[in-house]
Structure 1
Amino acid sequence: MKFSGLKEYVYHELKKKLISNVISPGERIYEEVIAEELEVSRTPVREAINQLVAEGFVENRPRKGVFAAVISKNELAKMLDVRIALESLAIRLACEKISEEQIEELEEIMKNLEKMLRKKDFIQASQWDSKIHRYIAEVADNKKLSSYINDIQDVFAYTRGYNIKWTDKKVERSIEEHRKIVEAIANKDEERAIGIVRKDIESMREYLSEVE
């Protein structure tokens, strides 16, 4: 991947660490450590952190330091309504446009999600979960819609690890629901696909209510 400058490079690498939970919510972020690790000065690190603060992934706490943000259940619950609206539109467009090659790619992503869930590698599973929704938006071929969905998927990929208490039942439920979404889109059955994706997103609301 090409970057326009050091700030963009540091931003990409730091956000990747946050979304993959290499840096966990609530963990302190040290500018000097990031600068040394990425072999850059502290200036682009500070600029990248400021951008991540603006996006809500990082908190600058006066007299305490910089920390990976802990996003509240209330804020996440509000985002679920937005997700339903955005992803319903993405599915409608994807069902109109999807090609056989794209169906195969979507099915391959689904296989990776199932593999990670069965291995109980929930950090990687979260990334593949998000990738399914991102790819549907990509197939929809609407840049602004895809950008909005990518932004909100970043948030859920970041928070899913500490907001879901995984059980075998939840693993099977996630696999079944995502598989049905993929099958419905492959069959260009947009109403069924939208219904299932609503159910999938609403299940996150249930899981949030279980978190203390």
Structure 2
Amino acid sequence: MATKKNTQKTERVPQTRDESSVERLYLELRERAMRYDFRPGSRINEQALGREFSISRPPLREALNRLVAEGFLDFVMNKGFFRKAISVEELFNLYQVRIALERRAVYLAVTHASDEEIQSLEDYWKSIMAKGETMDVADLLLADEEFHRRLTELSHNREICQFLEQVTRRIHVARHIDLEQSDWNAQAFDAHFQLVQLIRQRKTSEALAALSEHIDLSLKRAVQITKEMVAKFFLQDQGWDSSQPASPSTAPALNKKPAAKAA
């Protein structure tokens, strides 16, 4: 008796996108953008990134578009993605946003944070103070960012935490330069500890004043910090025209539109 062949076709399972790989790509590119591994004003070489990460154009563009939404990159139609130029006005505005968000977070922390949560923040900062003299600038900056992250979490407001995290990433390099050029650690250790004590004592106005005074030091230096960032990334660049006049709202040579280059 002849056997009947199985003519049923095997269904093709659609290939789904690996969300975890896209997320890892986004995080890596965000880290590079934060460190200004992509030079300000330069075009992002999508083909090179695609080869480096062995990834197709759609997920790469998804990651790049997320960086546009977060303020790290600009997108120019028919030209591509560019690392945002350094702007005095933008940096100044970001510091103002940071002050506004953290002031609200401190206000909410005074009324919503438990004594145990406040104690946890104090313990963390005491551990940093104990080893502060042996920490380099990069580690001090990460410790300070973590302090302000935990401080904001005392507000119990997730939206404030998320917005402040974006601001923190975008001013990361500026703050690194600020720490390099100032006696930050001598002042910030005590300022942070005092702020925690004021929150513990539920002294709203005093805590807000202490926070504003602390961040205002960087805000007042924003213009100088931006100039130092320009020097860091451009003065040794042979392609930078140092004779170009400065714009009142941006650093030297940064108003110029980026020229399109082959990817």
TM tier, smaller = 0.7 to 0.9
Query: Which 5+ residue runs of structure 1 have no aligned equivalent?
Result: none
- TM-score (norm. length: structure 1): 0.77
Q: Say whether the 8 Å CA contact 2:137–2:179 is kept in structure 1.
A: no
Counterpart residue type for residue 27 of structure 2: H
Instruction: Write the distance in 2 (CA, Å) between the matches of 1:22 and 1:108.
Output: 33
Instruction: State the Cα deviation string for residues 156-180 of structure 1 (Å, max 9, x = none).
Output: 224322455433x332112222222
Is 1:10 matched up with 2:34? no
RMSD over aligned Cα atoms: 3.2
**Paired residue for 1:176?**
190
Instruction: Write the distance in 2 (CA, Å) between the matches of 1:108 and 1:4.
Output: 37
The structure-2 alpha-carbon separation of the partners of 1:30 and 1:117, relative to structure 1 and needing over 3 Å to count, comes to: farther
The structure-2 alpha-carbon separation of the partners of 1:68 and 1:119, relative to structure 1 and needing over 3 Å to count, comes to: farther
Alignment of 1:75-154 (within 5 A): 75-111=90-126, 113-114=128-129, 118-154=133-169
How many pairs align?
A: 208
**Paired residue for 2:10?**
none
Q: Which has the larger radius of gyration?
A: 2
State percent identity of aligned pairs: 26
Instruction: Write the distance in 2 (CA, Å) between the matches of 1:84 and 1:147.
Output: 15
Q: Say whether the 8 Å CA contact 2:96–2:219 is kept in structure 1.
A: no
2:215 is matched with which residue: 198, 201, 207?
201
Q: Say whether the 8 Å CA contact 2:50–2:57 is kept in structure 1.
A: yes
**Paired residue for 2:68?**
53
170-179 vs 153-162, greater mean Cα deviation: 153-162
The structure-2 alpha-carbon separation of the partners of 1:46 and 1:199, relative to structure 1 and needing over 3 Å to count, comes to: same
Is 1:155 matched up with 2:176? no
Instruction: Write the distance in 2 (CA, Å) between the matches of 1:112 and 1:40.
Output: 42
More helix by share: 1
Counterpart residue type for residue 199 of structure 1: E
Q: What is the DSSP-based 3-state SS (H/G/I as helix, E as strand, rest coil) of the residue aligned with 1:11?
A: helix
Compute the displacement of 1:11 (Å): 1.5
The structure-2 alpha-carbon separation of the partners of 1:172 and 1:135, relative to structure 1 and needing over 3 Å to count, comes to: same
Q: Say whether the 8 Å CA contact 2:38–2:44 is kept in structure 1.
A: no
Compute the displacement of 1:81 (Å): 2.5
